[in-house]
Homo-oligomer: A and B are copies of this chain.
């Protein structure tokens, strides 16, 4: 149906091979006059190389697979943008898959990318505590066949990637908060089976302990806005209504969770930060538009994505990188006058 290279060759009165050489990058270029004729024919006929056929013949697809939990989550969409920027105009196309936090869907995505023979697979969702053996095996065989695996967040056996030092970052964040005067902390720890959740909560709690403090409460739940909303609501309901002359500071292991927590706090008639202070983690772009400004640990999300994209392009030379977040205190953790 579509125009084939053969058609172009015929139209230009040259052989298939010659047409191939001029239209797609080859070592030495054919004669200028011939080249022009071929290009003209291609243009006239509206020729488009069949990427599938090229991939089959070249054994390389110029395809990269990105798996996220939810593309509508600012954390992931920002990373996705970074990846695209990193890929730049290399001609590499991005295949996107979302898992909705279901491990089976992540496996399915990887499986699908393997079928597509993507040159690389970027895993941006958090790794679980007990990593699925099936996933590991899959990734292993992908790598054996020359596939590149880049993991964002935690290091995964024998893969390159951008590691985020969640623990240290959380410790630093806790330190800043304590320095600013906070003493009574609650931790919305998210899903305890996700490394990201766990590391962030642990780092924070460790710092508290080392400072001689201990959390007023640690609440687990889903690693999402809704999860935090519910966890926070439950926590507030369970509180004795009289207590607290002193301001509470709620550390949420992600900004998205902080947003959910804030909603719960407000619905219960309390104010942020006057009644309860809130801190998040990530510094997603959304925070720019939220009032009060939410304190957080800033991660260069777009850059992280960009680095991942660049790693893909630098084929093989993919190194591991470690990034830490920077505490950024804004209004949401301002100490209320009269408190503390």
Contact = CB atoms under 8 A, between A and B. Distances in A.
A94 B93 contact: no
Contacts of A262: 289
Interface in A29-78: 46, 48-53, 55-56, 59, 61, 70-72, 74, 77-78
Nearest to A144: B1
Among A1, A81, A285: residue with most chain B CB under 10 A: A81
A11 B338 CA distance: 77
Interface in A276-290: 285-286, 288-290
A314 interface: no
A84 interface: yes
B115 A145 contact: no
A288 B262 CA distance: 11
Oligomeric state, in number of copies? Answer: 2
Nearest to A266: B291
A19 interface: no
Contact of A288 (B91, B93, B263): B263
A207 interface: no
Interface in A281-321: 285-286, 288-291, 302
A294 to B, nearest CB: 9
- Classify chain A: how many residues form its interface, as a range: 35 or more
Given A52-B61, A61-B52, A141-B46, A80 B84 contact: no
A259 interface: yes
A71 B74 contact: no
A96 interface: yes
A71 B77 contact: yes
A146 B289 contact: no
A287 to B, nearest CB: 9
Given A2-B145, A72-B285, A289-B262, A49 B115 contact: yes
Contacts of A77: 71-72, 74, 77
A220 interface: no
A51 to B, nearest CB: 5
Contact of A51 (B49, B50, B115, B263): B115
Contacts of A146: 1
A49 B112 CA distance: 9
Nearest to A45: B141
Given A52-B61, A80-B96, A93-B97, 7 more contacts: A1-B145, A1-B146, A48-B115, A52-B52, A52-B55, A72-B78, A96-B96
Instruction: Give 6 nearest A-B pairs by CB, closest first.
Output: A72-B81, A77-B77, A52-B55, A51-B115, A52-B52, A259-B289
23 contacts: A2-B117, A46-B141, A48-B115, A51-B117, A52-B52, A52-B55, A53-B56, A56-B56, A71-B77, A71-B80, A72-B285, A72-B302, A77-B77, A80-B96, A84-B98, A91-B112, A93-B95, A93-B116, A94-B96, A94-B97, A259-B288, A263-B288, A263-B289
